[in-house]
Amino acid sequence: MVDVAFAIPGDLKTPTGGYAYDREILARLPNLGFRVRHLQLPGGYPEPSSDDLARTRALFAELAPKDVLLVDGLAFGAMPEEIIRDVRVPIIALVHHPLGYEPGLPEERAEQLIASERAALKFARRVIVTSPFTKRLLTQEFEVPPDLITVAMPGTAPAERASGSGDGQEIKLLSVGSITPRKGYPILVQALAPLSGLDWRLTIVGPQDRDRAAFAELQAAIARHKLDDRIELTGALDRQRIAEAYAGADVFVLPSLFEGFGMVLTEAMARGLPIVCTTGGAAAETVPDDAALKVPPGAVEPLREALRQVICDADLRRRLADASWRAAQQLPRWEETAHRIAAVIREVAP
């Protein structure tokens, strides 16, 4: 029996893709022969206070000699080198996407985070990433040897195919994700504004408290373009209500500037939804080309044209939806993801 301490910052119930990934792995590793405990790090990461760092150091000092330490990248990349250097057990870093690649960061802070994560990763015995894109990025830009990196793509639960809006004329657009600068929602609003003569409605599902300035900017963009009656901001929803949102949608839209994987894209595919997304980061590879209209991140005009096409062309929506549904049948399940991570843990276990 291998003992694993899975270090995750903040509230494990946080409704984001990264935390969902962590929850799924925590739930499944015990069934694969591991004693796993959640090591709750302070919630200040990736901007930890001095107290946060002191608490982290103390928690790591309590690790038993035969432990394996699995650390979520939201914290690991922001840890000072001296804290990581003192850890006396094997470290596995789980990188969802590099912290310094978060759009909206001041340039100086982005450079600091990139340097910090590059230094931290040198102390990891192994690195787990959620996409081939992130593996290439860490190899090319963060000097991580490729043979130390394992790709463990997020699993996707089977789901019923979306029924959409039925025979109604109004096309229901859905976007899911925390309201942060990286998700590009004001760009989506700007793209939709000249299409107000078409019959559509957009629902944006996701936490609104991750970045207050980003939420205020989105609200201002909606008001400026007089789309308050066309765009609904629901906030975070529970699993059942999110499933209902997917089931009732006609098109899934993800205007992200960068994605380390894009779990909501595979969730949309699992419902057989046609997709409009950007090519930001791993999003370009997460969805097959025949299941989505893909546009460059941050490009308003191409996004507007893609949206116009899917709103106006029922045959196009049907073709994209069929391809999305077919591709979803090949997506990995969470059991496969957990088995990949389990194999890495066994490699480094004392």
pLDDT tens, position by position, 65-114 = 999 999 999 999 999 999 999 999 999 999 999 999 998 899 999 999 99
pLDDT of residue 104: 87
Condensed to tens digits (0 to 9), the pLDDT of residues 144-156 reads: 999 999 999 999 9
Condensed to tens digits (0 to 9), the pLDDT of residues 280-329 reads: 999 999 999 999 999 999 999 999 999 999 999 999 999 999 999 999 99
Confidence check: pLDDT of 168 > 70: no
Confidence check: pLDDT of 257 > 90: yes
State the number of CA atoms in the 13 A half-sphere of 30 facing the CB: 8
Condensed to tens digits (0 to 9), the pLDDT of residues 211-248 reads: 999 999 999 999 999 999 999 999 999 989 999 999 99
> How many percent of the chain have pLDDT more than 90?
96
- Residue 90: which residues within 8 A CB-CB, separation 6 or more? 68, 69, 125, 126, 348, 349, 350
CA triplet 144, 83, 106: central angle to 5 degrees? Answer: 65
Distance (Å, whole) CA 291 – CA 296: 16
* pTM over the 0.85 mark: yes
Rounded to an integer, what is the distance from CA 61 to the centroid of its chain?
Answer: 30
Distance (Å, whole) CA 1 – CA 90: 16
The DSSP-derived string for 262-316 is -HHHHHHHHTT--EEEE-SBTHHHHS-GGGEEEE-TT-HHHHHHHHHHHHH-HHH
Confidence class for position 165, pLDDT limits 50, 70, 90: confident
Residue type, 237: L
pLDDT of residue 167: 63
Confidence check: pLDDT of 47 > 90: yes
Q: What is the mean pLDDT of the chain?
A: 96
